[in-house]
Structure 1
């Protein structure tokens, strides 16, 4: 999934979770979810508007896909940040 605005996006969270217990498919799902969340964080950071309603047509993926990406990260990552 290539949805990052940056050529070489930097991870937004420094400590990656231990994915060794996950299947290859789950690891790939996590990687895709991480890319979606990183894109969304970049999108919010690139826009000077804070706390405003945004047009979901500007999103790189459907809104429910982004919501699911956040759910995947919340389920897998253990870092409270």
Structure 2
């Protein structure tokens, strides 16, 4: 009977160790996935910031062109009135 109890304890300890090992492996895999997602998120944020900066530059250039076009329109209208 004592032998049987000892075998059950050994068996339980093995199950516990196997379960702990499995959880540690999964935790490592999950952490690697999280790290990869965080890297992708940082890259996406950098890309978005770059695109926003480029967009703002284009808007600024468009405003400048709009002003130049309006100036040309006024000059053409004024020269046509003469």
TM-score, normalization by structure 2: 0.32
Q: Give 1 or 2 for the bigger CA radius of gyration.
A: 2
Identify, as 1 or 2, the structure richer in helix: 2
